[in-house]
Amino acid sequence: MSQNNLDSGKLHYIFPDIFTIWQQNKYWILLIALLFTVLVVGIASLLPPKYKASTQIYVDPRDLQTLGKQVTPGLKSNIGTTLVETQALILESDNLLRQVIAKAGLVDDPEFNRTSSNPIKIALSRLMPAKKNDNIDPVSIALAKLKNAIDVHRIDRSYVLQASIKTRDRQKSKKILQALVNSFLAYQTSSRTNVSKRLKNELSTGTSGLRNTVESLEQKIEAYKEKYNLSGIRGQIISERQLSDINAQLVRTRVSNARLKARLDAIPKKASDIDKLPEALSSHTIRALRISLATAANQKARYALRYFPGHPTMRAALEKERDIKKQISKEISRIRGGIAIEYKRSKKNEILLAGQLKSLQKRFNRANKAQIGLRELERKLAVSQKAYQSTISRITEANGLAGINTANIQVISAPHAALNRIFPPSRFLLSIIGFLLGLVIAFVLLHLRYHTLFAARQSAEISRFPADYSDQKAYLKRINP
């Protein structure tokens, strides 16, 4: 017999046929499998169950714009992802979890305060000495447990947050998750309200300073105008307005003087030239005197036909004509004197206006130089007024946004608990696992038994082998054909 046949014979005894083992020990195998099935199901029944509740929250990083033209303005994608992940961190922050602990009463819950209702753990805790944890805050214990039970993450390539929690009770998981979502939404509203209020308070504090600055600049400008006589009407300073008025008056006075001078020069010195005087034509006195003179001249002409020049009647007519001419000359002199007086008065007024104009020109030049400083103050005032008006507008906007929630956050999937527990698995699956595990262990034990029996038999047979090697081969061939 060859060496290969000898090795195969050994393998036959070391790894016997699985069907042979089943046929010879099927009842034992089934018994062991059933025992392991009961054992696995029993152990699983002692373990606390875990129920999972989950929710989905859509977080749009673009807040609602109530005062702008766009309701949701554009935003860069990388910034939006960062903002959504920040909201995920806020959702599982200590402040919100502490609110959930207070709302759900988790401090008194055995699952979250390190007190167990499992009889095995209770028995072990009685046997083992308890550790002193008097200094540990119960809220901190519940917070640590709650952090381990909650999972929050952002779904890939989206702005949706997935939040879930695992507890021993289905309704408790849903209740805790609902409290977490409510606290998160309330935090979003309160945080924006607090920001608006803080902005309003800070702006109100700065508004008083800006208002004082504006009032101080206005007072400085008025004092500066009064000092340099720069008070204005309709945007025009007084010096400039007076200069314009006096200049116009001076021009009118000069024109009037020129007319009066022309009238004065046009007055005739003789009564015979009275027709050249316009005032004579319009004067009722001169007109009456001229009529009387014409009547006296006619009368003298008639007397000249009757009487000699030395006749008394003729002399009376000549005397009357001379009197009328004297009266006309006096009237012309009176008119000339009135125009001369009016001209002198107007000339004095012209000189006075010219002096005032010169004085105002000097003041105007000084005012132009002073306006450089005035414009600088006005520029400062304009900047301060713009800042003040902008601050007032921001305060008005803050007041309007104080009660408005601009966060664009929506719960797209309400908190709900799974129908089946996630741990331990169902009894049917545990039974299958326990049964298969029992089968494997049974076959392993029977294999070890066969291996042990084979080793004992081989030792007994070798002890009876002949001394000669050829006789050993014949013997092995006989026992293992």
Distance in Å from the first CA to the final CA of the chain: 9
Count other C-beta atoms under 10 Å from residue 244's C-beta.
13
What interhelical angle do 138-149 and 94-104 show, nearest 10? 110
How far apart (Å, rounded) are the C-alpha atoms in residues 481 and 476? Answer: 8
How far apart (Å, rounded) are the C-alpha atoms in residues 419 and 423? Answer: 12
Give residue-wise pLDDT tens across range 238-269: 566 777 787 888 788 888 878 777 766 666 65
Phi-psi region of 439 (alpha: psi -120 to 50; beta: other; left: phi over 0): alpha
How far apart (Å, rounded) are the C-alpha atoms in residues 21 and 161? Answer: 56
Any idea what DSSP says for residue 81? H
Residue of 225, 118, 227 lying closest to 168 (CA atoms):
118
Helix (H, G, I), strand (E, B) or coil at 449: helix
Residue 244 contacts residue 393 (beta carbons within 8 Å): no
Q: What integer pLDDT is reported at residue 69 of this predicted model?
A: 44
Q: With residue 411 as reference, give the H or E element that holds it.
A: strand 408-417
Phi, psi of 92 (to 5 degrees): -110, 25
How far apart (Å, rounded) are the C-alpha atoms in residues 175 and 146? Answer: 13
Residue 126 contacts residue 94 (beta carbons within 8 Å): no
Q: What integer pLDDT is reported at residue 469 of this predicted model?
A: 47
How far apart (Å, rounded) are the C-alpha atoms in residues 178 and 438? Answer: 43
Give me 424's structure tokens.
Answer: 């331990």
Q: Which residues of the chain have pLDDT under 70?
A: 1-18, 63-78, 115-135, 231-240, 263-283, 398-406, 454-455, 457-481
Residue 343 contacts residue 325 (beta carbons within 8 Å): no
Q: What integer pLDDT is reported at residue 295 of this predicted model?
A: 83
Q: What integer pLDDT is reported at residue 179 of this predicted model?
A: 94
Residue of 298, 297, 274, 295 lying closest to 286 (CA atoms):
274
Q: Is the peptide bond before 424 cis (omega within 30 degrees of 0)?
A: yes
Sign of the Cα torsion 148, 152, 153, 155 reads: positive
Rounded to two decimals, the pTM is 0.52
Q: With residue 54 as reference, give the H or E element that holds it.
A: strand 51-60
Residue 364 contacts residue 357 (beta carbons within 8 Å): no
Q: What integer pLDDT is reported at residue 180 of this predicted model?
A: 94
Identity of the residue numbered 257: N
Give residue-wise pLDDT tens across range 367-416: 777 778 888 888 888 888 888 888 888 777 766 665 566 678 889 999 98
- Chain centroid to Cα 115, Å, comes to 48
Sign of the Cα torsion 32, 34, 36, 42 reads: negative
Give me 86's structure tokens.
Answer: 């920040």
Q: DSSP letter string over 289-340? A: HHHHHHHHHHHHHHHHHHS-TTSHHHHHHHHHHHHHHHHHHHHHHHHHHHHH
Helix (H, G, I), strand (E, B) or coil at 161: strand
Residue 101 contacts residue 176 (beta carbons within 8 Å): no
Give me 213's structure tokens.
Answer: 């600055």
Q: What integer pLDDT is reported at residue 252 of this predicted model?
A: 84
Helix (H, G, I), strand (E, B) or coil at 453: helix
Q: DSSP letter string over 335-358? A: HHHHHHHHHHHHHHHHHHHHHHHH
